[in-house]
Structure 1
Amino acid sequence: MLQTRQLRPQSSAKTSTNGYSFVSCRISTARQGGSRSSASNSLTTRASPSSLARSPICCKAASTVDTDVRLPNKLIGAARSHQTDVVIIGSGIGGLCCGALLAKYGVKVTVVESHSIPGGAAHTWERGGYHFESGPSLYSGMNARGKDANPLAHVLQAIGEPLKCVQYNTWNVLVPEGQFLTRIGNDNFLGVLSQIRGAGSPAMAEWRRLQEVMRPLAKAAVLLPPVAFRYDPGVLLSAIGRYLPALATGGTDAMKLTGPFSKVLDGVISDSFIRNWLDLLSFLLSGLPANGTIAAEVAFMFNEWYRPDCMLDFPIGGSQAMVQALIRGLEKRGGRLLLNSHVERILLDSNGRATGVALRGGGSIKARKAVVSNASVWDTVRLLPPDLPAAQAAVSTFNREAQETPNCPSFMHLHIGFDRTGLPDDLELHHIIVNDWSRGVDAEQNVVLISIPSVKDPSMAPAGKHCLHAYLPATEPYHLWKGLDRKSPEYAKLKEERSQVLWKGVEKIIPDIRSRAEMSFVGTPLTHERYLRRARGSYGPAFKAGEALFPGESSRIFYLFQYFHQLAEGHEGSPGVS
């Protein structure tokens, strides 16, 4: 067993107060694939003027700014009615990326958000000076440029909104074999293997062999952007056409990227700990083990994490800093963001084409060119009128495909604001706990992820305090919660029971956390369903690698596009569920 590190208990006791539900989720709407669509029109939202010029939406010069009267984002009722080029449903990272890029190229854009806080699954909320992150916390490549930058960094660079980040390279891991501090980089993991399996063990030789196998795959992965791994006819234009030189350079290695990562491991890795470790990394990347995770995601991660001098990035201000940067990019070019503006339905004309949205409480927004949905496929199809003759067949097919799309489980979350007195100054930002390898990394209540963002950015908590986010990553079954009244004693009891694994996980890091806690909040699948408008509180579609690829932008409805966070999915740090 590896040595474990115990933190000193705090002498003065404080009472922990169990709070109410709030929203928390993950940036990604879709996992490995998406809806099977056949509409011929395609919305392009990459940071390339030439590609945007080919889009049916884009028609203005990059320097053009919307000169219409700006709408405050707190308007209500019919006062929100106006006309624009494109209306985007949802202010998650995907929706804001789409809006900011379109605004950059002169398209008039309005983003509508049901919640009072922008950011979707990446929003931050504040209580008593504590800034709690509801979404991602592990990032890399945020300040890199070129092929080493992650796709979100490309967007931020394109709109001229760089982020200030703190760099670091360690995270804490607690697994059945013991506890260890791992560093990003190849040599460090060899040290971990030496401790667990012994110096000169076959496991170390297997890891070195895997590095050799992954090197050409990683090279091919960084040559192709994630939008090239789509499951629609447009892939022939975006990947084969635009990225033909990259495909030629990658050769047969590029073709391996769309299969499951487990096929890369077969014949190379037999050591059980390494297989379990790579299952865990795959799960953190995509929400699926290695046999369901597309090899391209892991190859990109290997290029990022297992190279000399690689670092992780934490944005000053946390995930909300990313959200605000995208909003600035949207609004400085005339784009609009309307909060508290829930879309009641997507408007279709007599020909079955999407023409705008109707808002709850009154008001509508007409779109001259397109409607883009940043919502899940299940929630998008529910916004369509089922009885319009011109679109009845398309809506029916869209609905059937949505219902056939497998969904993954939801989340449990625990947010704690606590006193840091007596805790070491070098407390880690990230902690990953696996209780039992034999159950599988995707088993419910088996893997706990913990982040303490105030370790890297003290401004996220009051002086002398820390804020903490612990969660079960896309493993919480919705059926346990279905039909419960959120104000009922039954709901409160289930919250208490199902959150204990999170408390116990945090206690492995900070044994006296319950007495230190000044406030705590528990989020459930019903929280996701309510605040993020996510069907069944789901993380998203659960297509396995080899069965489907990333979805394209088109839908069954003309001029209705689906923006599934492809600019963020796969490389936003540790994407997926971390």
Structure 2
Amino acid sequence: MGLSTISTYFLRLQSLSPNLIFKSHRRKRTYLARIANGSQPSSNGYPSVTTTQKTPFPGKPEADVVIIGSGIGGLCCAGLLARYQQDVLVLESHDLPGGAAHSFEIKDYKFDSGPSLFSGFQSRGPQANPLAQVLDALGESIPCVNYDSWMVYIPEGEFLSRIGPTEFFKDLEKYASLDAVREWKKLLDAILPMSAAAMALPPLSIRGDWGVFSTAATRYAPSLLKSFAQMGPQGALSATKLLRPFSEILDSLELKDPFIRNWIDLLSFLLAGVKSNGVLSAEMTHEYLS
């Protein structure tokens, strides 16, 4: 699936609701937002937002909500707010929406602006991709393709990597070392017992602060308790690591092989745009290793 597909479909939301308007501006222009002092309330009962600027601004002067930035997060917020009858204005300094998920063309060739990985769009229910759930709420669908492999280009070589944690052993044997094979097995042995707890939680409920007790522990307590019972006391205790950075699991297992550490950082960046020290273990376990 092309990364530009997602941002393209969000632009179609303007046809779903007049409450969402996208405005693109060059970086040279400066735009400020302030709370209006007028007596006219907005559609949600709160003071509306008035846009003021140094240059003429063609478009609506007021909105219930102004969202700065048209990345995936901004577009999701804007789409859902418009879906629930909020008057939304999205401001973007680039001339294309989508953030890291937009693409551009040069001489009939299409280029992605940044690496991103979106998967699980065909799943439905609590385990569905959060972005898929947003699109469902908006009544939108996007074309998806199933794949079982992906091409990898790294300094050690070029190879077709098959989907699945155990398939990766073959690549490690050829392009890394026996130490890398042993460390990958050690990681899987530690992670797989936690996968039941990770899969018991919808991706949207996973967070790394105390709010997890509201979004996950309280709402999905029955499924969590069932998973803990299957894992046993030791497994349930280790599952608490799921809400910690994934790098802490790597460090606790004393995984030091450069290929393994770099590979995990690559997967983390594709998933969340950060290295393994910035992504929750639950996300990595849910997405790649379950």
Q: TM-score, normalised by structure 2?
A: 0.64
What letter matches 1:281 in structure 2? L
**What is the Cα deviation at residue 163 of structure 1?**
1.0
The residue number in structure 2 matching 1:215 is 192
Q: In structure 2, how many angstroms separate the alpha carbons of the residues matched to 1:159 and 1:252?
A: 39
Bigger helix fraction: 2
What letter matches 1:258 in structure 2? L
Q: In structure 1, how many angstroms separate the alpha carbons of the residues matched to 2:157 and 2:220?
A: 44
Q: In structure 1, how many angstroms separate the alpha carbons of the residues matched to 2:23 and 2:220?
A: 40
The residue number in structure 2 matching 1:257 is 242
The residue number in structure 1 matching 2:100 is 121
Residues 511-538 of structure 1: per-residue CA shift (max 9 Å, x gap)? xxxxxxxxxxxxxxxxxxxxxxxxxxxx
Q: In structure 2, how many angstroms separate the alpha carbons of the residues matched to 1:97 and 1:240?
A: 25
What letter matches 1:216 in structure 2? P
Kept in 1, the 8 Å contact 2:65–2:89? The answer is yes
Q: Alignment length, in residue pairs? A: 237
Kept in 1, the 8 Å contact 2:246–2:279? The answer is yes
**What is the Cα deviation at residue 299 of structure 1?**
1.0
Closer, same or farther in 2 for the Cα pair 1:210/1:106, shift >3 Å? same
Kept in 1, the 8 Å contact 2:21–2:90? The answer is no
Kept in 2, the 8 Å contact 1:278–1:290? The answer is yes
> What SS class does the counterpart of residue 80 from structure 1 fall into?
coil
**What is the Cα deviation at residue 172 of structure 1?**
3.1
What letter matches 1:158 in structure 2? A
The residue number in structure 2 matching 1:130 is 109
**What is the Cα deviation at residue 207 of structure 1?**
3.5
Which structure is richer in relative contact order (CA contacts within 8 A, separation 6 or more)? 1
**What is the Cα deviation at residue 229 of structure 1?**
0.9
Which residue, out of 83, 90, 95, partners 1:111? 90
Kept in 1, the 8 Å contact 2:71–2:99? The answer is yes
What letter matches 1:166 in structure 2? V
Kept in 1, the 8 Å contact 2:264–2:276? The answer is yes
What letter matches 1:302 in structure 2? Y
Q: In structure 1, how many angstroms separate the alpha carbons of the residues matched to 2:57 and 2:192?
A: 57
What letter matches 1:109 in structure 2? V
Kept in 1, the 8 Å contact 2:79–2:138? The answer is yes
> What SS class does the counterpart of residue 243 from structure 2 fall into?
coil
What letter matches 1:94 in structure 2? G
Q: In structure 2, how many angstroms separate the alpha carbons of the residues matched to 1:189 and 1:134?
A: 28
**What is the Cα deviation at residue 183 of structure 1?**
1.1
Q: In structure 1, how many angstroms separate the alpha carbons of the residues matched to 2:127 and 2:90?
A: 30
Q: Which runs of 5 or more residues in structure 2 are unaligned? A: 1-5, 7-15, 26-54, 229-235
Kept in 2, the 8 Å contact 1:220–1:253? The answer is no
**What is the Cα deviation at residue 298 of structure 1?**
1.7
The residue number in structure 2 matching 1:172 is 151
Residues 414-459 of structure 1: per-residue CA shift (max 9 Å, x gap)? xxxxxxxxxxxxxxxxxxxxxxxxxxxxxxxxxxxxxxxxxxxxxx
> What SS class does the counterpart of residue 193 from structure 1 fall into?
helix
Matched, 1:294 2:280: yes
**What is the Cα deviation at residue 97 of structure 1?**
0.5
Q: In structure 1, how many angstroms separate the alpha carbons of the residues matched to 2:248 and 2:23?
A: 49
Matched, 1:77 2:56: yes
Q: In structure 1, how many angstroms separate the alpha carbons of the residues matched to 2:223 and 2:134?
A: 21
Q: Percent identity?
A: 46
